[in-house]
Amino acid sequence: MSRRVPRLIAQSCALGLALALPSAARAQRVHVIAAAGLSGEPAFRLLFEAAVSTLVDSARARWHVADSSLFALAEDTNGTRMRATGRATRKELEQSFLALSRRVAPGDIVLVFLVGHGSGEGTDSRVSLPGPDATAADFAGWLAGLARQNVVFVNAASGSGDFGAALAGPRRVIVTATRTALERNETRFATPFVRALTTDEADADKDGRVSVLEAFAYAKKEVARVYEADHRLLTEHATISDSTLARSVTFGAPRSAPTDPRAAALVAERSELESQVAALRGKKESMTPAAYDAELERLLVLVAQKTQAIRALGSGAKP
Give the interface with other proteins as residue ranges (CB under 8 A): 192, 200-208, 218, 221-222, 228-229, 231, 273-274, 277-278, 281, 293, 296-297, 299-301, 303-305, 307-308, 319
How many Å apart are CA 167 and CA 125, to the nearest integer? 11
How many Å apart are CA 291 and CA 298, to the nearest integer? 11
Minimum CB distance to other proteins smaller for 74 or for 217: 217
Minimum CB distance to other proteins smaller for 132 or for 208: 208
Please choose, from the candidates 294, 265, 295, 267, the residue with its C-alpha nearest in 3D space to the C-alpha of residue 6.
295
Secondary element (H or E) of residue 284: none
Minimum CB distance to other proteins smaller for 148 or for 232: 232
Contact of 173 with 192, CB cutoff 8 Å: no
Minimum CB distance to other proteins smaller for 31 or for 220: 220
Q: Residue 231 CB, nearest distance to other proteins (Å)?
A: 7
Contact of 90 with 133, CB cutoff 8 Å: yes
Q: Residue 27 CB, nearest distance to other proteins (Å)?
A: 20
Phi, psi dihedral angles at 259 (to 5 degrees): -85, -30
Minimum CB distance to other proteins smaller for 94 or for 207: 207
Minimum CB distance to other proteins smaller for 145 or for 254: 254
Q: Residue 221 CB, nearest distance to other proteins (Å)?
A: 7
Q: Residue 283 CB, nearest distance to other proteins (Å)?
A: 12
Sheet with strand 172-176: strands edge to edge: 86-87, 70-74, 30-36, 109-115, 150-155, 172-176, 239-240
How many Å apart are CA 193 and CA 226, to the nearest integer? 13
Q: Residue 156 CB, nearest distance to other proteins (Å)?
A: 18
Please choose, from the candidates 171, 151, 153, 150, the residue with its C-alpha nearest in 3D space to the C-alpha of residue 163.
153
Q: Residue 233 CB, nearest distance to other proteins (Å)?
A: 12
Minimum CB distance to other proteins smaller for 168 or for 302: 302
Give, as one character, the DSSP assignment of residue 36.
E
How many Å apart are CA 108 and CA 45, to the nearest integer? 31
Q: Residue 22 CB, nearest distance to other proteins (Å)?
A: 16
